[in-house]
Amino acid sequence: MMQAAFQCRDDVLDADDARDKYVARQLFRKLAANKRPTDAQTAGQPYTLFSEDFRPENKPEDFSSSPGAWLEQCEPYMQTFLRLLEEAEAEQANKQDNVKDKDNGLTLSQRMRANWTSRRWMVEYAARTTWVFDHFWWKYIDKSCFGENEDEDHKERLVLLTDVQREQLEPFVAKKLLMTEEKEILQCTDEDVQRRLQELLI
């Protein structure tokens, strides 16, 4: 939501694009607050959103079981990668090394395969890669969490927002369009940032 609120240049194409961005981020926040999407492997475990600063020391452990984004390009590469990883795990297991996760008893390849099959990796990738968030949200995540959406946009999803979130939609759009027109770097104090986030994180 912060990126959508404060990025000034070339962030939105038009008013409908701004609406799409606002609705997608509010619904994503709703999913996170309800600890969704989840699967059997992570049910009951805390689900925390992190900043997009994903240097190794900031990377959530859950993300390590998601296949790399480079693998999305072609399914056969993913299958080859997983097969080789399984062979390496079997070799390690033969040496009496424990290759299974201590919490869920699954190997890394099993967790990656499950995340690939369930498309959970898309949620994790979208959460940490703001420039692809909207594409992944409207093309995949929205459908899998909220059902069919023929136009893949905000219009059918407005009913899922709270009244307060709907009230903030048009002011958000107006501000984004103004920021796009002015094309100036946004100057704000800490208080401005806090006030803006309080308006949006509702």
CB-based contact 106:100 (threshold 8 Å):
yes
Residue 48's pLDDT is what? 47
Q: Is the pTM for the entire model greater than 0.85? A: no
Question: Which pLDDT band holds residue 2 (cuts at 50, 70, 90)?
Answer: low
Structure tokens, 182: 């002015």
- Amino acid letter for position 20: D
Q: Which of 59-63, 101-105, 174-178, 187-191 has the lowest mean pLDDT?
A: 59-63
Residue 102's pLDDT is what? 58
Residue (of 66, 68, 62, 63) closest to 103 by Cα position:
62
Dihedral angle computed from the Cα positions of residues 34, 40, 45 and 48, in that order, rounded to the nearest 10 degrees: -50
- What value does the CA radius of gyration of the chain take, rounded to a whole number of Å? 20
CB-based contact 143:157 (threshold 8 Å):
no
Is the pLDDT at 72 greater than 70? The verdict is: no
CA–CA dist 74, 116 (Å, integer): 12
Name which residue leads in pLDDT, 78 or 156. Answer: 156
Is the pLDDT at 25 greater than 70? The verdict is: yes
Dump pLDDT digits (tens) for 158-189: 999 999 999 999 998 998 888 888 766 667 78
Is the pLDDT at 57 greater than 80? The verdict is: no
**SS3 letters across 62-125:** HHHHCCCHHHHHCHHHHHHHHHHHHHHHHHHHHCCCCCECCCCCCEHHHHHHHHHHHCHHHHHH
Q: Which of 41-45, 91-95, 112-116, 197-201 has the lowest mean pLDDT?
A: 41-45
Name which residue leads in pLDDT, 73 or 195. Answer: 195
Residue 156's pLDDT is what? 92
Backbone angles phi, psi at 60, to 5 degrees: -65, 140
Residue 26's pLDDT is what? 92
Residue 165's pLDDT is what? 92
